[in-house]
């Protein structure tokens, strides 16, 4: 039998017990009700008739009047139809006979008196007979009630014991196998695969026991058969890690060192035997390099190794399973060669940019002289050529300036002159710088900057340069006769936010994460809108060097909003 059918049988059994108990109670209650109704119907009504006849006789001791006769005859007729006890018929017939004699006695007072006494005696006999019957039937009803009480109590007690035993024992039939299964599963979680279940039944529990035993057997076989291959794979992974040129350190979830390769041991200066199994923060207390690896968030590190300074990039990989971190791997990649090439590239760019500024400035000076009518008049074609040359030199001068700024950032030679400045001063200077550009494109700048804002601590020149760059880009990407919104507000207790919003074409979401990368240009921009791709990257470096933040928000077709924050002056 299945568990489902057993549950049905169990609950059906309890229901049957309840039905039996209720049925017995209803049966004996019906018997008591029937006995009581018999007493009322048969005997009590007779007493009522006899009392009515007696009351009618007592109303007048002389000759019976019409009202007395009517009452007596009505009750006497009813009594004739309600004969229930043995001997009651003879008494009732005698009563009828004596009544007829009494009715015919006329005015004979002596005869009436004798007949009245006889009638009363007969009425008393009838009443006595029914009273005796009532007492007898009452005794029968009491006996029935006593018997019913005893029987119902016995049956109820029996049913209660059966139901109580069922309630105590039946849940264990369901729960005990589940508890045993839970205990076995806990043992399996401890890799004890020798667990077995013994459910001697042909229901679902029996099938569960068979499936569980099969599973544990296969798990045990799998564990034993794969142990050698796991050890082999472990050795192979260790060999691969030791053969790598990058330093690799493995930590478990509690920060204990579980593996380390030879390169990492050389850099740290501690042997593998003295590292494996140790608590990494304890080792870091006596080793500066490991402390920097565990504590600092710096991705690029300078390490003195092999009698020279080397550069390494740090990468931390979290190892997790089922959203639970079980360890992490620290990888140090030697990027000395790339760092040297990068520095050479940066120095080359700085040198070339610096050397280009002088001839470009000379060209601009020469253009100014050529545009002076005192030097000589030029025709329209020559004037157009001079304007084109002026635009090109201005663009070249801007590019060389950006390259110089970039080289300063990359070489770490960026110098900041901090001071306190009111946001209004920064805004006014930047708006004046781009006013002519905005007028040429018929783009107006709406400024919202409260005079009551606190001062900011910043490098005034570089912050102004960033704001000018954002305003120039906003004008460049705005439609003609549109508005650029420049808003300065307090966003935190210690931060002031500068934001520039245009209503141009906007930027696709897929490019927002790369907008501050060097040399990145948004695809699809017009030729007159593209630049070197360095302006926003340099702006990011300038703001972050002042402990600020810079970001962008944009929806395609609705424009873009660039913003940066600066700390409030103390």
Residue boundaries of the structural domains of the chain: 3-41+136-176, 243-337, 340-407, 417-567
541, with CB counted inside 10 A (0-12, 13-18, 19+), is: buried
Task: Show contacts of 363-371: CB within 8 Å, 24+ apart.
Answer: 363/389, 363/393, 364/390, 364/393, 364/394, 364/397, 367/393
pTM score: 0.41
CB-CB contact of 57 with 116 (8 Å): yes
Q: Is residue 280's pLDDT more than 70?
A: yes
Cα gap 326→187, rounded to integer Å: 22
CB-CB contact of 496 with 568 (8 Å): yes
Domain 417-567 CATH assignment equals 3.30.1360.70: no
Q: Is residue 532's pLDDT more than 80?
A: no
Strands (E), 376-505: 418-421, 444-449, 456-459, 483-492, 495-501
Which residue's entry shows tokens 């499936």? 211
- The model's pLDDT over 10-54, given as tens digits with 9 standing for 90+, comes to 677 767 877 777 777 777 667 666 666 655 566 778 888 788 888
Tokens representing 59 are 């109303």
Task: Return the minimum-mean-pLDDT range out of 179-188, 292-301, 477-486, 498-507.
Answer: 292-301
Mean pLDDT of 324-330: 83
What are phi and psi for residue 561, nearest 5 degrees?
-130, 115
Q: Give residue 529's pLDDT.
A: 54
Helices and strands in the chain: count of H runs, count of E runs: 15, 12
Q: Give residue 426's pLDDT.
A: 92
For residues 228 and 236, the model is more confident at 236
CB atoms within 10 A of CB 221: 11
Q: Is residue 446's pLDDT more than 90?
A: yes
CA 71 to chain centroid, in Å, comes to 89
Q: Give residue 208's pLDDT.
A: 76
Cα gap 289→377, rounded to integer Å: 71
pLDDT confidence of 563, banded at 50, 70, 90? Answer: very high
pLDDT confidence of 354, banded at 50, 70, 90? Answer: low
Domains 243-337 and 417-567 share a fold: no
For residues 8 and 316, the model is more confident at 316
Mean pLDDT of 181-197: 77
Which residue's entry shows tokens 């005997």? 43
Which residues lie closer than 8 Å to 21 by C-beta, 6 or more apart? Answer: 152, 155, 156, 159
pLDDT confidence of 552, banded at 50, 70, 90? Answer: very high
Cα gap 560→504, rounded to integer Å: 7
Q: Is residue 6's pLDDT more than 70?
A: no
Tokens representing 551 are 């970001």
Q: What is the CATH number of domain 243-337?
A: 3.30.450.20
CB-CB contact of 53 with 75 (8 Å): yes
Q: Is residue 234's pLDDT more than 80?
A: no
Mean pLDDT of 202-221: 76
Cα gap 19→368, rounded to integer Å: 116
Q: Give residue 262's pLDDT.
A: 84
Q: Give residue 350's pLDDT.
A: 56
Cα gap 461→229, rounded to integer Å: 65
Q: Is residue 1's pLDDT more than 70?
A: no
Cα gap 333→249, rounded to integer Å: 12
Which residue's entry shows tokens 């200077």? 429
Mean pLDDT of the chain: 78
Most confident of 63-67, 299-303, 320-324, 563-567: 563-567
- The model's pLDDT over 92-141, given as tens digits with 9 standing for 90+, comes to 888 888 878 877 776 777 787 787 788 788 888 888 888 888 788 778 77
pLDDT confidence of 408, banded at 50, 70, 90? Answer: low
Mean pLDDT of 439-464: 90
Mean pLDDT of 542-556: 90
Q: Is residue 479's pLDDT more than 80?
A: yes
Residue (of 558, 565, 564, 563) closest to 509 by Cα position? 558
């Amino acid at each position: 039998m299945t568990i489902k059918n057993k549950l049905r049988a169990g609950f059906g059994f309890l229901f049957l017990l309840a039905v039996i108990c209720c049925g017995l109670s209803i049966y004996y209650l019906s018997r008591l009700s029937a006995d009581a109704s018999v007493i009322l119907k048969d005997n009590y009504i007779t007493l009522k008739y006899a009392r009515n006849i007696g009351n009618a006789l007592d109303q007048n001791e002389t000759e019976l009047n019409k009202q007395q006769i009517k009452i007596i005859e009505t009750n006497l007729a009813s009594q004739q139809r309600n004969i229930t006890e043995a001997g009651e018929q003879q008494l009732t017939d005698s009563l009828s006979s004596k009544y007829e004699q009494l009715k015919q006695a006329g005015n004979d007072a002596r005869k009436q008196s004798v007949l009245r006494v006889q009638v009363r005696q007969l009425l008393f006999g009838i009443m006595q007979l029914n009273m005796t019957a009532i007492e007898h039937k009452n005794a029968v009803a009491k006996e029935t009630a006593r018997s019913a009480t005893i029987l119902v109590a016995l049956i109820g007690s029996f049913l209660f014991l059966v139901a109580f035993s069922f309630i105590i024992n039946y849940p264990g039939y369901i729960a005990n196998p589940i508890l045993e299964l839970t205990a076995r599963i806990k043992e399996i979680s401890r890799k004890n695969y020798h667990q077995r279940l013994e459910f001697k039944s042909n229901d679902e529990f029996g099938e569960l026991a068979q499936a569980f035993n099969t599973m544990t057997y296969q798990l045990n076989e799998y564990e034993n058969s794969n142990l050698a291959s796991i050890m082999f794979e472990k050795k192979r992974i260790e060999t691969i890690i030791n053969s790598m040129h990058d330093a690799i350190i493995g930590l478990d979830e509690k920060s204990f060192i579980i593996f380390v390769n030879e390169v990492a041991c050389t850099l740290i200066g501690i042997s593998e035997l003295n590292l494996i199994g140790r608590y990494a923060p304890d080792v870091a207390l006596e080793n500066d390099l490991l402390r920097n690896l565990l504590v600092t968030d710096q991705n690029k590190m300078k390490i003195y190794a092999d009698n020279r300074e080397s550069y390494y990039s740090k990468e931390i990989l979290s190892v997790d399973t089922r959203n639970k971190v079980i360890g992490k791997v620290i990888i140090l990649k030697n990027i000395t060669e790339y760092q040297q090439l990068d520095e050479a590239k940066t120095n080359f760019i700085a040198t070339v940019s610096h050397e280009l500024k002088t001839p470009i400035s000379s060209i601009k000076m020469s253009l100014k002289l050529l545009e002076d009518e005192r030097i000589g008049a030029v025709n329209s074609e020559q004037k157009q050529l001079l304007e084109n040359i002026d635009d090109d030199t201005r663009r070249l001068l801007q590019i060389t300036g950006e390259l110089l700024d970039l080289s300063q950032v990359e070489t770490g030679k960026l110098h900041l002159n901090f001071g306190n400045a009111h946001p209004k001063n920064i805004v006014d200077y930047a708006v004046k710088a781009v006013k002519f550009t905005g007028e040429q494109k018929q783009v107006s700048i709406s400024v919202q900057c409260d005079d009551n804002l606190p001062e900011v601590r910043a490098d005034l020149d570089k912050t102004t340069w960033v704001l000018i760059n954002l305003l120039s880009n906003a004008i460049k990407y705005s439609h003609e006769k549109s508005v650029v919104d420049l808003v300065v507000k307090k966003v935190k207790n210690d931060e002031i936010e500068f934001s520039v919003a245009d209503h141009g074409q906007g930027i696709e979401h897929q490019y927002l994460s790369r907008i501050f990368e060097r040399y990145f240009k948004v695809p699809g921009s017009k030729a007159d809108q593209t630049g070197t791709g360095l302006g926003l990257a340099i702006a990011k470096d300038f703001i972050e060097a002042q402990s600020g933040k810079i970001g962008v928000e944009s929806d395609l077709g609705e424009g873009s909003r660039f913003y940066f924050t600066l700390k409030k002056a103390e």
